[in-house]
Chain A
């Protein structure tokens, strides 16, 4: 199969869940002998690169102060237009479209005969709705739709009345494995999510840090996420979790925060392995890939009791959940969950249990399903033809 993944973001410029998911699925398909092409965008000049056996075409971005001042969504359309030109010139058999990839995907299917899988990387109200007949990425117009979790797929079926498959983001168990020792005298609390995205919960974590530090002064908070999406996050960094030291009261609690910054992708397994717990107190999270990566490295996790994280942390042997929908003393409850997870990390069986739990999202399992779904999309085209 010749498979194309058009999506505005890709490594190294964006290092969030969707980009890693595309990276891992594309790499898996290429390793299975398929011809795989990622069409993404770059803040610099257009170029073509190779990510292993995967061809990556970076188209230029429409970035201008006035665009972000008055019509930021133009940038999505500009990417879709540039990507459509690439797709039209390099015909693929099938496309994997994550949400917000190409707003006029039904038109592409019609004019360049490109069937597609709509991979819903958002939940609930954020799922695109049909506004115009062809300018839409409404999943009902796709050849096949897939959500990231079982719960999300059932929501889509109930809301949209279509069949929805489950295709979670994979975790590469060869790359993400325990590769470092924890220091029990200095437990690390790792926050690897975006520091500037308010939905990721970085500020709530800083608030909770006061209590964690009071009850476990030897613990260290490691901030290791990226700094927001260029253009979309207009907050100055000092007002985000990257500079939110004001939420932390005492000097000693501040001193116990290590600002590590976003690391190279190759460093993450060691960072997860050394941590006592990985925390993702996010809301509106469709999945939460950092949680499965952490589990694969044998490190317990803390996340929301709802949405994607709630479905991932389905076993108290691998972490703790917090009801973030209940606004009463969220910071205190988050602190308690973190402290319990630190204790959990000290139990000898935890590492193996976390790793075993993560195996359900292993790249081999999910990659095979991706391949099967794309073949299903392709055969539906042949059926139509």
Chain B
């Protein structure tokens, strides 16, 4: 175990939204005991982890949190904030031994979603709704019994889907078994959810859409993924476009609460 003595240089400025949570996430990542390849894969997930952490930090803690298909970084940040975290691990996942101790369910996504959750203040569902075999409204109804749900899902207006539609290609890739992934667990989407549908899905499940926003879910590039100049410039350009045009962003992050709207 390596004990941190002091930071040798001040932290660099952050470009992610919400500098408080962003800095917290980056600091956690910098001290995470993972190998460098895992570090860089988790580094790509910092924008979405930050967005999820921002949602969690809006609520008074400490909370009982159920994290469904999380990554190592999200877990570490939540634990650092003092929350009591339970993990539903979706294989093949790459999680450390600390996460293993928090795991209460393990299997495929559909297996871990099959039963109602234990009493919890908050359930986190990154990329779960669009990947579950079951209809999203049914998943939400089963999970949203008493606690809040924070959902992150890809949406049909995202730049990647717009480009596929323009090119005449199918929006979704053909079904394939999940691959090993060092960032988020690989949850191949089975459907694309439109931004406007989320409120209807929530209502169908007896939940209220408390708030939603569009976020960019990953960094433009990975620092260790070799790229040609043209590929690099293309990736930066796409990222810039998503910054400038919010509807083109990758993901909806929404908070749903139990109960019907007044």
Contact = CB atoms under 8 A, between A and B. Distances in A.
A234 B228 CA distance: 13
**Which of the four size classes fits the interface of chain A?**
35 or more
B174 interface: no
**Which of the four size classes fits the interface of chain B?**
35 or more
Contacts of B37: 196, 226-230, 233
A50 interface: yes
A263 B97 contact: yes
A61 to B, nearest CB: 8
B104 interface: no
B5 A48 contact: yes
Interface of B is mostly: loop
Contacts of A238: 179-180
Interface string B10-39: 011000000000000010011111111111
Contacts, number: 129
Interface stretch (A6-14, A104-112, A169-177): A6-14
Nearest to B221: A65
Contact of A227 (B38, B179, B227): B38
A264 B97 contact: yes
B6 interface: yes
Nearest to B233: A66
A228 B39 CA distance: 12
Contact of A45 (B2, B9, B92): B9
Given A49-B5, A50-B3, A68-B226, A43 B12 contact: no
A261 interface: yes
A261 B223 CA distance: 23
B4 A49 contact: yes
B244 interface: no
B33 A12 contact: yes
A58 B95 CA distance: 24
B33 to A, nearest CB: 4
A225 to B, nearest CB: 10
Given A12-B33, A237-B182, A56 B232 contact: no
19 contacts: A12-B32, A44-B39, A45-B9, A46-B7, A47-B4, A48-B8, A49-B2, A49-B5, A63-B224, A66-B227, A68-B224, A68-B226, A196-B37, A227-B35, A227-B182, A231-B226, A237-B181, A243-B179, A262-B35
Given A65-B221, A231-B223, 15 more contacts: A11-B2, A45-B11, A47-B6, A47-B7, A49-B4, A50-B5, A51-B3, A65-B223, A226-B37, A228-B37, A231-B224, A234-B225, A234-B226, A242-B180, A261-B94
